[in-house]
Chain A
Amino acid sequence: MSDAVTPRVLYCNCTYAKVVPEETKGDVLRQLCDSGVAFDAVADLCDMAARSDPALAKIAEGGPVRIAACFPRAVKWLFHGAKTPLPEEGVEVLNMREAPADEIVAGLLAATAPETEATAS
């Protein structure tokens, strides 16, 4: 039996701005919906961070997670600013502002947990 933990998946829709290409966002969400995996989707992580939404703590504390959002440095410090820092290990942020949808989805659904990937450097 494998010890690999399947990381949770979090998708950020960046609802309140147009900085993530609509096509990428839509494509990633569509593929996630069709994949059969369980996932959490939030309207806008920035909005949640501005309100220090307690849901961020649940995301940060729940073990390995892959986050489809924007620049890893932005996501890391958004969580930190909301007083719910992401753990140093087991978190992978996939940047929908830069990478194509297929690459993002492949990263989100890859079979094993990410190897101690920090959110940014």
Chain B
Amino acid sequence: MSRTEGKNLRVVVYEGAGSQPLPDEDRFAMISSLLAEGFEVTRAAPGGDVADADARTMLVLGRFDEKSPPTARGLDGETTVHFRDVTGVPAEGVVEVAREVRGETGARDLTAWKPWFPVIDYDRCTNCLQCLTFCLFDVYGVDGKQEITVQNEDNCKTDCPACSRVCPEVAILFPKYRKGPINGDVVRAEDIQREAMKVDISTLLGGDLYGSLRTRQRSARERFSTERDESKALLERKRCLGKLKKDLDIPDEVLMTLPSAEDIEARAERARLKAEKRRARSTTVADTKPAPTEDDWGI
């Protein structure tokens, strides 16, 4: 199962009729431990509204007065509800119970990843497709309406916000980034002046980002092949890429795992052709469409 597949188990903490109320401290310990383990948690309370069931499996935990059935069918006939009595079970034990049910039901079991991927602010995006051309890892694509979209979240390199730096509209967010406006904070006038930053990037890289990456990579590779001391070569490569890292905030790991120069070249060319073709197609469609008549406008 990839990081972006599967469904988390939803756990309902039930304290209504037929179940003893939990002491505040126990409720908090239980819910926070479950969240830390990647479960979704619903605290049910009389008269309170929560999200409707969306999954086929659910786990209901409570300090039940009577022995509850281990599983039951939901009213829709499709949802399977598992009940577990957790009377006297401490928070860690409750997590263990939930893990067991997760294992039995095949729900997603994935706790160690940082969901890191670009999120597009379509109020700002102008569909210039620069991000598509820039990203080397096929994170971006276009949808049926030829609009930019994030299609392979899983391909994005953790902690690398480089594409957001090349977006002329400051339209790319990484919600888990430490600073604004990339983290979703309000875009201020000075951020918009990053149109100038775009220029800075090309200056930094001698006007041709891919060219620079290629050169840097080639020289690093040559050093690798001629130097027997690999760690020394690695250090040297890191030093060469330092400026790039500093200015674009690209993590070492990404710089060191860049595809081969040929791959980068082929990828850039493919993206450029794709974008050009799309632009040509949309121009042709727009040009061949007859001008709207007064009838079309309803006047």
Mark A residues whose CB is within 8 Å of B: 6, 8, 10, 13-17, 19, 26, 29-30, 32-34, 36-44, 46-51, 53-55, 57-59, 62-63, 70-75, 77-78, 80-81, 97, 120
Contacts and interface: CB of A to CB of B under 8 A. Distances in A.
Interface in B1-60: 3-8, 10, 24, 27-28, 31-32, 35-45, 47-55
Contact of A77 (B31, B42, B49, B173): B173
A55 B51 contact: yes
Contacts of A80: 122
Contacts of B38: 15, 43-44, 47
B119 A78 contact: yes
Interface in B110-129: 111, 113-117, 119-122
Interface residues of B, number: 55
Interface of B: 3-8, 10, 24, 27-28, 31-32, 35-45, 47-55, 111, 113-117, 119-122, 150, 153-154, 173, 175-178, 180, 183-186
B6 A34 contact: no
Nearest to B24: A34
A81 B120 contact: yes
B57 to A, nearest CB: 12
A97 B31 CA distance: 21
Given A26-B32, A37-B43, 18 more contacts: A6-B48, A15-B36, A16-B113, A16-B115, A17-B114, A33-B27, A33-B28, A34-B24, A34-B28, A38-B42, A38-B43, A42-B40, A43-B36, A55-B51, A55-B54, A58-B51, A62-B52, A77-B122
B35 A41 contact: yes
Given A29-B28, A46-B175, A81-B119, A51 B4 contact: yes
A55 B10 CA distance: 10
B48 A37 contact: yes
A120 B4 CA distance: 26
Contacts of B117: 46, 50
Contacts of B178: 19
11 contacts: A6-B48, A16-B176, A34-B27, A38-B49, A38-B50, A39-B50, A42-B35, A44-B38, A58-B54, A71-B185, A78-B175
